[in-house]
Structure 1
Amino acid sequence: MFGCLVAGRLVQTDAVPVAQDKFVFHLSDCDQVNHVVVFMLGTVAFPAGTGGAVYFSFPEPVSGSPVWQLLGFLSNDKPSAIFKISGLKSGEGGAHPFGMMASASPSVAQVGVSVEPLEQLAQQTPVTSAAVSTVDSFLLFTQKMLDSLYNFASSFAVTQAQMTPNPTETFIPSSCILKWYENFQRRMAQNPNFWKN
């Protein structure tokens, strides 16, 4: 019914049923995993009015007990999702339907899917750090570049009273750079490819 994919590895379709409505994937060498994709195989749909809550657990180093964290959910209308798990290895878990299942080893994480009513799924709050950014990497790079330029240029700012005359130096008002910065951001928001014209 479900598949699990980690970049650079084969697709896993061998979810272990731990109850009639609960399935678990085991992720070996989980220290090397940043993102995981969980998806429906398309062979079996969720029963009407239900979906699958997706959980992640990484055993605590001291106790060895798994700490489960809610990543999000799947449904017939949303049959796949990608989750960032690289920041979830520590921290507190929340309520989960998997009981006290033990992990196979300290380096094996688990991804669990629990079939639950859609109304219940809508009321649950996943850990915020599991959401994968929907911002295009080019837009993100451009934003960071603009921030860096503005911060760098601003670090040299002096008031007119602090300026010493230097006939070989050209000064640009910081308001000019700020105006360019705001204009560039506005244009990127309207059309990320405007610079190609």
Structure 2
Amino acid sequence: VQAAPQQVAEDKFVFDLPDYENINHVVVFMLGTIPFPEGMGGSVYFCYPDQSGMAVWQLLGFVTNEKPSAIFKISGLKSGKGSQHPFGAMNLPQTPTVAQIGISVELLENLAQQTPVANAAVSSVDSFTEFTQKMLDNFYNFASSFAVTQAQMTPNPSEAFIPANVVLKW
């Protein structure tokens, strides 16, 4: 989780994505502590270095106070063409193995008129459900790897224990 953006202009922020070649999806979400100003939202851009090291920016979509999160597939974007973006005039440091997510605060009317790159479509509910199921399966497998029998437990009054069957029933 990256919660410390670099502010590059009054209304523009970037987050570094190290080792981006191994990232398939990016989740962008607002923490809920600071909302966008009334009538504003954030365009979400993906930037990666092309073969010559030049920054290529692509519009992924947007987030707003009413839609504070989105999942974007970026695995197919790393060879596409760039698009018009508000970060062009800025001299942002770019290294070959670091990509960036850019957030540009803009009017809601402008956000609705923008066209994101086609293969970055926000994941559908079905794939989100699939992701959630896999995440919970992995959580259960991880938590189960620490399982011990009641006879093996060392009493520790300051530590809480949750029976595995409670997680399974849930």
Q: Does 1:130 align with 2:97?
A: no
State how far apart, in whole Å, the 2-side matches of 1:79 and 1:28 are: 24
1:82 match: secondary structure: strand
2:34 match: secondary structure: coil
- The letter for the 2-side match of 1:34 is N
Which sections of structure 2, spanning at least 5 residues, go unmatched?
A: 131-170
Q: Which residue of 2 aligns with 1:46?
A: 36
Q: TM-score with structure 2 length normalisation?
A: 0.71
Distance of aligned partners of 1:43 and 1:58 in 2 relative to their CA distance in 1, 3 Å threshold: same
Q: Which residue of 1 aligns with 2:57?
A: 68
State how far apart, in whole Å, the 1-side matches of 2:8 and 2:74 are: 22
1:66–1:103: 8 Å Cα contact kept in structure 2?
no
Q: Does 1:116 align with 2:106?
A: yes
1:104 match: secondary structure: coil
Greater Rg by CA? 1
Shift of 1:59: 0.6
* Identity level (%): 65
State how far apart, in whole Å, the 2-side matches of 1:103 and 1:92 are: 20
Shift of 1:95: 0.8
2:15 match: secondary structure: strand
- The letter for the 2-side match of 1:106 is P
Q: TM-score with structure 1 length normalisation?
A: 0.61
1:112 match: secondary structure: strand
Q: Does 1:13 align with 2:7?
A: no
- The letter for the 2-side match of 1:96 is H
2:14–2:101: 8 Å Cα contact kept in structure 1?
yes
State how far apart, in whole Å, the 2-side matches of 1:70 and 1:106 are: 20
Pairing 1:71-82 to 2, within 5 Å after superposition:
71-82=60-71
1:30–1:108: 8 Å Cα contact kept in structure 2?
yes
**Aligned residue among 96, 102, 119 for 2:85:** 96
- The letter for the 1-side match of 2:26 is V
1:65–1:102: 8 Å Cα contact kept in structure 2?
no
* Bigger RCO (CA 8 Å, 6+ sep): 2
Which sections of structure 1, spanning at least 5 residues, go unmatched?
A: 1-10, 141-197
State how far apart, in whole Å, the 1-side matches of 2:24 and 2:17 are: 12
